[in-house]
Structures are given as structure tokens and as C-alpha cells.
Amino acid sequence: MGAINSLFHLIKLEKRLYWSVERLEELRHVKLAALLTYCYENIPYYREQFKTIAAQPGDFNDFEDLSRFPILEKETLRERSEEFLNPQTNRAKLIHYRSSGSTGIPLDLWYHPSERLRMGFTVTRELLFNGHKPWHSIVNVTEPRHSSPKNRWYHRLGLMKERFLSVYDNTELNLDRLAEIQPELLIGFPSVLLLIGEQLQNTGRLSWRPRLLFTLAEVLTQSYRENLKRCWGIEPIDMYGANEVGHIAFQCSQRNGYHINADSVHVEIIKDGKQVADGERGEVVVTNFDLRAMPIIRYRVGDVAEKIAGGCSCGCNFPIMGNVAGRSDGFIVGENGKIYSALEISLLLKAVKGIKQFRLIQKQFNQVMVEYRPAADNHNPENGISRILKDRLGESVDLKFSKVNEIPRESSGKIRTVISELKHPYGSD
């Protein structure tokens, strides 16, 4: 996408924030119809679903009609991933992405380059709406695979320049880099930013503070929010998304909920297969209007949120949903009491071949129980898991392995990849 097209697209996305409800709904209906037609004509999995429910794209007149489709589970997306791709697509032109498995189920995902670029523009819209200026410096503490150098036209003009730090590097190293860069915007996982912030506080080296602090990937619990504000001197703004469906929603400066990116996704909040009433909580189910390499319809993300009626006083007319509960896996304590983000550990385990699903349980110091489902009966991933966990947590940490037939869900329906019975290092909600 060239400079003029990129600028035009970003301006168009920003203007949509202020569209009337009627205009936004018109766009959403057009996008839904295009998505269903494409899936019916090109995607084997969805052709089968249309046949099963005896329907065609023209039979879907409103979003309520989507409930005729079965909910798409992570396990289905993993086990039948080939059926979500257009057989005529040249995969050499696609981007292959292996998800982190934050619910214990790693996924292989495919995108057109333009889809990833548009996802990036959606994030940029969220940052700009919340007060970020294009000429301000950005540091993103993330996975290395997200930190490939970018040299787009606006970077060459000194705009939206982003530096990346790795969640896998030790806290002290990232602390030194941040002190050198002193970014005006800092973004990262809540648990990782909290570990860095605590270290800055303890060493008395916090000689600067970012103008804006954004969190993503993990649930921003109230205790995270309070402790991040204590460490960094600024209250975080949370962004909510999933690799499978892109950015779903974002907080604004009011922090009264999450504005749903309704021009690109449709969000259902359901319980017992039905939409919940206003003020009730349910599971988050998402349909992405724009994905074509690997279309996603009615995908159970694995989180719980509250349905909220009404709008927000910030000026954005996108609908809002309540605070998200789900992938808040907290921390794991390693050798010598060192604290690690549980999401960091889960991300590391994505490199191990032969795992279908996993869960870590820590009931006492220096011991971690690893439950896993192998990808096949003849797969034994224990050596790979052991090597990674020992390298990160320390050789003295005792690893106990348990091969299981199923990782049980919580009563909410979620799967937690980490369960810790140790005292939370920064308090709990």
C-alpha cells in the first residue's frame, strides 16, 4: 500500500469513529454479505456449514441470523485449518503465523499481507484517538516475531517510529534500553510492564515517564491497573484483540468499557447459546468482516465480557462492551524466587512441536506441574518442554509431567494455561 493510499485509508478509518449508528450499520451489512458470499463460494469449511444448515448467503438478512452458524471452536480451527483456506490461493503470497497458544491451543494462521497491514492501521487509529501524536516515540515490548524492522514512507518522515524490546530479554536489559530511549508511548503485556516498572521503582531509576501507557494480550485486571499506575505514574489504556480475528475493541480515556471496532468485527456476547441481556456477562464470540485468506465467522475467543447498552461521552460512536475477563494467567515463580510473566512462558512453549494443548500448575515454589495433550499418540514433547522451562525458570525447578486426554475448562468455559496457587506478587482482584 503506497503513501497516498495508506494515508487515505487511515483517515477513512478515523472518520468512521464518528459515523452515525445508521451509517455504520449500513457498512456492516454490506461487509457481512460480502464475507458470506466469499465463504460460500471459496472456503470448504463454510460451504459445508451452509449445506448443514440448508442456507445460502442471501438467507442472512441480519446479524441475528448468524446464530444459525455453529460457534467456531479453537480446536476446530486447529484440526481443520486446511479447510479454512481457499484451495486456489497461492500460499507463497500469504503470511504464515503460529499463534502463541495463550489458551493452551497453538494455532496456524494465514493472512494476506494487506490484511496484516490493515490490522496495523486499526491499532494506529486506537493510539491516535487516545492522544498519541505521530511524531512521538514508541516502544513496544513484545515477541521478537512482531518486531521486524519496518521502513514505510511515514517512518522515513520520522512519524510513528517504533522501537521493539523483547519479552524474552531479562528485565534489567529492557530497563537499560528504556532509560536510554525514554519513549513517549509505551506498550506491552500488563505483567511484563509491571515487572519492568517494579524494577524501575526498586532501583530508583525512573527519571522519566511515558505520556501514554497501553496494554494488550493479557487481561488488564484492577490490580494490574492500580499497580501499573503506581509504577509508571499514569493509568494504562487497554486494547483487546486476538491473533485469529485482529483487534476487537479498545478503551478510550474514559475507561468505562471497550469500544468495539464495529467496522471490522461483529461481537456477540452469549450464554447458553443466546445473546445475553444488557448488564449480563457472557462469552465473547467474534466474526471478522475483512479476512479472506482465513475467514473467521462466529469464533469463540475464550474470554468473558459484559454487554453494555448506550454509548460513551468521548465522542466515539462505536458500541461498547464491558471489561474483559479471561486470559489473565498472572505469574510463575522460578529459581531463587524470580518472577516471570505466565504469558511469557506460554509464548516460549509455542516452539515445542508435538503439543496439542498444555497447562502449567504451580502449587509450591520450585515445582511446576505440566499437563499436556500430545498432537499424536506417538509424540512425546516432554524433552522439548523441559528444555525450555529449565532454561527460563532455572535448573532447580522440579518439573512434573502428566499426559492427559483433556484439559478441563473453567466453569466460565475458558481454558487457563497457567494456574498458580502461590500468593500473587502484586496483589489480586
pLDDT tens digits for 134-185? 889 999 988 765 555 555 655 555 666 778 888 777 777 888 888 888 899 9
Reported as a single tens digit per residue, the pLDDT across 352-407 is 888 877 888 988 888 999 999 888 888 888 999 999 999 889 999 999 999 998 87
What phi and psi, each to the nearest 5 degrees, are found at residue 24?
A: -65, -40
Beta bridge partner(s), residue 263: none
Residue 269 confidence (pLDDT): 93
- In this model, does residue 268 exceed pLDDT 80? yes
pTM of the predicted structure, to 2 decimals:
0.78
Torsion sign, CA atoms 348, 292, 188, 134: positive
What is d(CA 164, CA 144) in angstroms, rounded to the nearest whole number? Answer: 8
- CB of 300 within 8 A of CB of 74? yes
Q: Are residues 337 and 306 in the same domain?
A: no
Number of domains into which the chain is organized: 2
Assess whether pLDDT exceeds 50 at residue 328: no
Report the percentage of the chain scoring pLDDT > 70: 88
Supply the pLDDT for residue 252. Answer: 94
* CATH at residue 160: 3.40.50.12780
Structural domain includes residue 153: yes
CATH assignment of the domain containing 346: 3.30.300.30
Question: 105 and 238 in one domain?
Answer: yes
Residue 306 and residue 353 in one domain: no
Q: Do 213 and 343 fall into the same domain?
A: no
**Does residue 254 sit in the same domain as residue 345?**
no
Alpha-carbon distance of 265 to 352, in angstroms, equals 32
- For residues 181 and 306, membership in a common domain is answered with yes
C-alpha closest to that of 256 among 311, 202, 184: 311
| Domain assignment present for 427 | no
Domain assignment of residue 370, yes or no: yes
Parent domain of 388: 331-420
Dist. CA 367–CA 318, nearest whole Å: 46
